[in-house]
Amino acid sequence: MAEDQTTGLEQNELAPGQFEVDGVIYELRYNLQKIKTIESVTRKSLSAEVVNNNGILSLQTMEALFSFGIVESKDLKAVAQKTGVRMFERFINENGAITANTYIIEKLQSDAGFLFR
């Protein structure tokens, strides 16, 4: 991510899609099971929401995707969902809704492209 899309960080050695918060590198990761969990919690089809809203997700859906998808890059350890919600709030306040939306959609396309085929 570009420097202005990070949160108080150094850009050293961050791979595309990674961001650093308080010295820990994170990224979003999705798979079929996570998608099913998110759809169950939000009671929305992610594919339908993306298509019906021209790729712009609701804040509620972005929060769910972020908080369920965030992992520590070092060992791919999932972040607790409540912590993920707090991190989403910080991320969106510092980067904006459209930047957060773009970041999430790009990760969905990369990790769960089956949603869009």
Tell me the per-residue pLDDT of 38-47, one tens digit each, with 9 for 90 and over.
999 999 999 9
Q: What is the pLDDT of residue 13?
A: 76
Residue 88: is its pLDDT beyond 80? yes
Long-range contacts of 76-83 (CB under 8 A, 24+ apart): 76/29, 79/26
Number of domains forming the structure of the chain: 1
Please return the burial class of 49, using the count of CB atoms within 10 Å of its CB with bins 0-12, 13-18 and 19+: middle
Residue 7: is its pLDDT beyond 90? no
Q: What mean pLDDT, rounded, does the chain reach?
A: 88
* 29 in any annotated domain: yes
> In terms of residues, how long is the chain?
117
Find the domain containing 68 and state its range. 3-10+25-116
* 91 in any annotated domain: yes
Predicted model pTM: 0.84
Q: Is residue 85 a contact partner of residue 64, using CB atoms and an 8 Å limit?
A: no
* 108 in any annotated domain: yes
Q: What is the arithmetic mean of pLDDT over 19-46?
A: 93
Q: Which tokens in the block code for residue 47?
A: 């594919």
Q: What is the pLDDT of residue 5?
A: 45
* 107 in any annotated domain: yes
* 73 in any annotated domain: yes
